[in-house]
Structure 1
Amino acid sequence: MLGAILTANSLELNLGLSINSLLNELSPHLLAADSASGGEEKATIAALVGTAGIIFIFSVILGEICTRLKLPTVLGDLVAGMLLGGSVLGLIVFSSEGVEVNTTLLRGLEVITGASSGIVEQAYRFQMKDFLDESANIGLLTLLFTTGLESNLKELIRVGTQAATVAITGVFVPFVLGTFVLIKLFGIATIPALFAGAALTATSIGITAKVLQDIGNLKSDEGQIILGAAILDDILGIVVLAVVLSLVQTGEIEISNIIYLLTSATLFVLGAVFLNNIFGSMFVKAVKKINNPAALMLLAIVFLNACSLLATAIGLEAILGAFAAGLVLGETEFQEKLQGLFEPFIFVYTTIFFVTIGAKVDLSVLNPTVAANHKGLIIAACLIVIAILGKIVAGFAVFTNKPINKLAIGTGMIPRGEVGLVFAGLGATTGALSNSLDAAIIIMVIVTTLIAPIMLRFVFPSSTTSDNSEEYAENSETDCVPVSKFN
């Protein structure tokens, strides 16, 4: 059904191709009984169904725990993946060597399907892995598309230069400082260092907006600057991601190539922003002319696919096209309907995406009792410090004659949330990041996401929080950037 996907190897996202690839993975086992034994078919189906059930059960339980603790539910998915992965329970294993699949699970599947242990393990390691990878890729594309849908361009224009100053500083400082420290202090190769530095750039809109709403500062000057800067952060972060991914693809760092990628990516996004009225009105007219209840969804997929293909054609990553498609359609009268239509994909596929990110984390590299892990732990600590200080510095980049809480602005930019996890997931998928560096990024995401809500409650005056919380919460839906459903 969907129309664009990021494949595991080429990172060219095409949802339509993705669904076809999923069906191609399943069809030999569902339809071609003459080419495989009944036990193999049953083992494959049982592995897929069982894995999906386990993922959603753990996601619901840990998500509920996070909700009760007033933490973003995306952390529940991440922790669920870590528990289910090869480092703990061994229920979801992506490595073909060195990691054992949970023996109790395998024995259970053998009893249910009647297949041999070898067939069951092969189905669980390979067919299940391919299915989860494809589903996670759909989740990634859907996440970026809906992020574009939720980006309020009018609000972004209103806060203007103040938000732009914070956003640019908040991207530049952590990226440059993080990359420099990783290369000079830890001797990490340039491309992995660039990837890790890029993971420090973007701010989670959803986490920050939810906390500001809770404490009654969503409509304050500081709150609006934070949200506007967070939107710009997402755009700039995705541009940086597209450039770094292209460098990973070529394996070379050439100034001319970097200039081309930066220029084309920037022009691509700016084109989507400034031409959204033209493309948006064409989309609305097309939907209204077709007397088909599925027209809105289908044309949205076509538009998403077209933007993704265009991005790919000019040498960018298709994820940038998906984000741009969301920006354009988010300014049309169908914005809310589209969010509702894509909501099922969000809840299903992005859950799989975040759980698989957690499952791929090798927690053993964080064991402090192992001498070989000490470097990775030090890297994680450095990334956390850079992630926090880089955004606080950005808050003090605001230039205004009005009295404003610059520390609060910088603090509001700290949480990385789902955006940082996207970087970590793609870094692991492309092989750009080592296990220790990937784990360090995920630890950075967890720590910044956990401490930002606590810090925000301290840096904003308590009087504002207590007096205005209800009013801001009531009006926030119409006046401010929508809160991500993941947080």
Structure 2
Amino acid sequence: MIDLTSGLSGIGSSLTVLAEVNEAELGPFVLGSVLLSLIVIYLAAKLGGELCARVNLPSVLGELVGGVVVGVSALNLVVFPAGAEPIHSLLMDFVQLTAHLEPDALLAVFKGQTEVISVLAEIGVIILLFEIGLESDLKELIRVGPQAAVVAVVGVVVPFAAGTAGLIAFFGVDTIPAIFAGAALTATSIGITAKVLAEIGTLSSREGQIIIGAAVLDDVLGIIVLAVVASLAKTGEIEITNVIFLIIGAAVFLVGSILIGRLISPLFVGLIDQMRTRGQVLISSLVFAFVLSYIAAAIQLEAILGAFAAGLILAETTKRKELEGQISPIADMLVPIFFVTVGAHTDISVLNPLNPANREGLIIASFLVLVAVIGKVVTGFTVFGQEGINRMAIGVGMIPRGEVGLVFAGVGAASGVLTESLNAAIIVMVIFTTFVSPPLLRVVFDNDDNAPPKAGSTPEIAEATVD
């Protein structure tokens, strides 16, 4: 995930700068620069998505590629300042050309604009997971729960152990940096996989539900692993109480929110039926989703877990179909911001082998990519008690690291634990797994001729789920 906490704290610091350079005067320029960014983001998402759709690739891949094109790797239109080093932005050049701002004022506008876009991206992925929860079947998720748990645990343990041991044995990496890099291999981007499954009409299939269930559990495990390795990097020791708190908090939140939600959902529906104002279903449901998202964030889990749980609960009510129709336009507006932003953050210059500084990182990256792919693909073959299931599809569905992997890399770089080459290797691994997974997932599902018909793969449902 993009770091919402740092984004919110950054907004506070930017507001301080804005106050120093006359916030009232700069407010319109911040708004204008946000609108310019959204224009670029929507054009990149639509053009990239349309091109991929025409060659039978998932549109989410086009949105990611569009983000790379408009981000730091190419056009420098949508960029995100970080640290003390200045970052060039063509959008800010345009703002400067039209507004003639002083350097301090322009920097304040730049920071304000990028932080607003980051928050919109976070809201976008929250909406995406809420929508995925609505389209999921809670009974089916519970039924495949044991299989999903096995997939999630294996998908964390295998790449973490293989990556850490391999870096120490083959490359002589110190123990703590190796552990951090191994932890980065455990992540799974539920947003990317879920979007692809929805596009190809396999979200409600047995494979799709196992992947979604495992990805949710993987996200929880990833948070715990990140907390452990971050503590190890800072203090050299693991804070057991913090780990125990996260494990108990995750279990209580996921189980408790679903159980309590199912009990109060009839009251929720009754309240909606009593309302007479416009948008009562959508607004009430978003309030419910945001409440659970806040609770998840407050106990140091991901906000998207709360949104997903809210979707699962409301999917059990009579308002499901109506809500699905009303949430789709909101998702169409906000979700592309998230995927384009993920692409815009990606610096593919680390893939240039002509730069001597990249070569060590690329060698390590080759090993990490191998472990990252194999470590997730094997998870599909751990599924038990499911005849005729597409195990390869399950494994491939767990491959993308996406924004989650970038968070690991960012935390590691900020802590000073990772060397430049090791940090670059993690970024390369994230790039590769993120971009190869969507088309590969479609291929493994399309080639599955021997499996029984999947729930949700009928033309009607597939059409309804295609973006």
Post-superposition offset of 1:440 = 2.6
Q: How does 1:31-70 map to 2 (within 5 A)?
A: 35=22, 40=26, 43-70=29-56
User: RMSD of the alignment, in Å?
Assistant: 4.1
Aligned counterpart for 1:71 among listed residues 54, 57, 68: 57
Aligned counterpart for 2:434 among listed residues 437, 440, 445: 445
Post-superposition offset of 1:379 = 4.0
Give the gaps of 5 or more residues in structure 1: 13-17
- Superposed CA deviations along residues 402-431 of structure 1, whole A, max 9, x for unmatched, are 5x36xx4123431358x7324135446656
Which residue identity lines up with residue 186 of structure 2 in the other structure?
A: A
Query: 1:80 touches 1:355 (CA, 8 Å); kept in 2?
Result: yes
- Give the structure 1 partner of residue 138 of structure 2: 153
Task: Mark the CA change 1:11 to 1:134 in structure 2 (over 3 Å): closer, same or farther.
Answer: closer
Aligned counterpart for 2:321 among listed residues 317, 329, 336: 336
- Give the structure 2 partner of residue 421 of structure 1: 402
Which residue identity lines up with residue 239 of structure 1 in the other structure?
A: V
- Give the structure 1 partner of residue 331 of structure 2: 346
Measure the CA separation in 1 of the matches of 2:126 and 2:158: 27
- Superposed CA deviations along residues 333-374 of structure 1, whole A, max 9, x for unmatched, are 222333333333322222122212221222222211122212
Post-superposition offset of 1:259 = 3.1
Aligned counterpart for 2:88 among listed residues 74, 90, 101: 101
- Give the structure 2 partner of residue 207 of structure 1: 196
Task: Mark the CA change 1:136 to 1:476 in structure 2 (over 3 Å): closer, same or farther.
Answer: closer
Aligned counterpart for 2:443 among listed residues 449, 454, 475: 454
Measure the CA separation in 1 of the matches of 2:93 and 2:251: 53
Measure the CA separation in 1 of the matches of 2:296 and 2:27: 39
Aligned counterpart for 1:237 among listed residues 204, 218, 222: 218
Aligned residue pairs, count: 448
Post-superposition offset of 1:277 = 2.3
- Give the structure 2 partner of residue 292 of structure 1: 277
Query: 1:71 touches 1:450 (CA, 8 Å); kept in 2?
Result: yes
Q: Does 1:135 align with 2:135?
A: no
- Superposed CA deviations along residues 74-113 of structure 1, whole A, max 9, x for unmatched, are 222211221112231111221365565355x555444544
Task: Mark the CA change 1:191 to 1:124 in structure 2 (over 3 Å): closer, same or farther.
Answer: farther
Query: 1:388 touches 1:448 (CA, 8 Å); kept in 2?
Result: no
- Give the structure 2 partner of residue 9 of structure 1: 6
Query: 2:148 touches 2:214 (CA, 8 Å); kept in 1?
Result: no
Query: 2:121 touches 2:335 (CA, 8 Å); kept in 1?
Result: yes
- TM-score, normalised to structure 2, is 0.79
Q: Report SS of the residue matched to 2:4.
A: coil
Post-superposition offset of 1:67 = 0.7
- TM-score, normalised to structure 1, is 0.76
Name the stretch that deviates more: 264-273 or 83-92: 264-273
Task: Mark the CA change 1:324 to 1:102 in structure 2 (over 3 Å): closer, same or farther.
Answer: closer
Q: Does 1:367 align with 2:352?
A: yes
Post-superposition offset of 1:306 = 2.9
Task: Mark the CA change 1:329 to 1:130 in structure 2 (over 3 Å): closer, same or farther.
Answer: same
Aligned counterpart for 2:74 among listed residues 80, 88, 101: 88
Measure the CA separation in 2 of the matches of 1:464 and 1:319: 32
Which residue identity lines up with residue 351 of structure 1 in the other structure?
A: P
Query: 1:309 touches 1:321 (CA, 8 Å); kept in 2?
Result: yes
Query: 2:126 touches 2:304 (CA, 8 Å); kept in 1?
Result: yes
Post-superposition offset of 1:37 = 8.5
Aligned counterpart for 1:227 among listed residues 184, 208, 213: 208
Task: Mark the CA change 1:444 to 1:312 in structure 2 (over 3 Å): closer, same or farther.
Answer: closer
Task: Mark the CA change 1:91 to 1:384 in structure 2 (over 3 Å): closer, same or farther.
Answer: same
Query: 1:191 touches 1:432 (CA, 8 Å); kept in 2?
Result: no
Aligned counterpart for 1:197 among listed residues 171, 177, 185: 185
